[in-house]
Amino acid sequence: MSVALSLRRWIPEAKRGVTLLLGRLRAGRGDHAGLLTFSDTVTVEVELGPLANVFDEIANRVSFLSAQGRTSLVDGIVTALRRLPLPNGAIQAVVVLTDGRENNSKSTTDDIFSTLATYTPKGPRIHCLSYGDDTDNELLLLIARASRGTAYAGSYSGIEELFERIGYHF
């Protein structure tokens, strides 16, 4: 699983949500996780690796994240998808958390769809969580549906609940 984040006003809630989601994963069953952020650019904060090896690093990096720049949402999703290993029987997913509208990517949604197609027959699922008035929930729903994932729009006070919902997919 890779977590892609764009953060603005609700950073404390987002940080708690990521920690909650990480807690749903289990190192004993071989779960892997990674973290990337997207604003003006996409930054791989923590490389995808075994949960036991990256849990503390992800939690630490999330605690220091701050809002900045524009929203390279599509570039973030494409980068996350391309960093996932080819299917090996494990659940593959990208969890996207954003409060912004796509406004800076060089990639297009077609790049997302073509990357998903390389994972036939069952590729990774993309689970999208959006908060605030500046999100494009229709775009997020389109991306989630194309990957058999889920899309949730929420309020700032309900972010932990939505992370809990996403956690049920793992």
- Which 3 state secondary structure label does DSSP give 17? helix
DSSP-derived secondary structure letter, 83: H
Q: Quickly tell me which residue has 């800076």 as its tokens.
A: 104
Query: For 46-93, what is each residue's pLDDT tens digit?
Result: 999 998 899 999 999 988 887 778 899 999 999 999 999 877 777 789
- At residue 40, the 3 state secondary structure works out as coil
Of the CATH numbers 3.40.50.410, 3.30.460.10, 3.40.50.1370, 3.30.390.10, which one belongs to the domain with range 2-167?
3.40.50.410
What does the pLDDT look like over 1-21, one tens digit per residue? 565 655 555 677 777 878 888
Taking the chain, what is the end-to-end CA distance rounded to the nearest angstrom?
Answer: 9
User: Residues 159, 13: contact at Cβ < 8 Å?
Assistant: yes
Residue partners of 115: CB distance under 8 A and separation at least 6: 78, 81, 82
Question: Which residue bears the tokens 């229709």?
Answer: 138
* pTM given for the model: 0.89
Q: Is 111 helix (H, G, I), strand (E, B) or coil?
A: helix
What is the number of other CB atoms lying within 10 angstroms of the CB of residue 64?
Answer: 8
| Helix-then-strand count for the chain, H and E | 6, 6
Q: Which of 89, 100, 92, 109 is nearest to 37 (CA)?
A: 100
Indicate the pLDDT class of residue 116, thresholds 50, 70 and 90: very high
Residue 135 has pLDDT above 90, yes or no: no
pLDDT in tens, 90-110: 778 999 988 888 999 999 999
Structure tokens at 113: 């769809």
Give residue 157's pLDDT band: very low, low, confident or very high (50, 70, 90): low
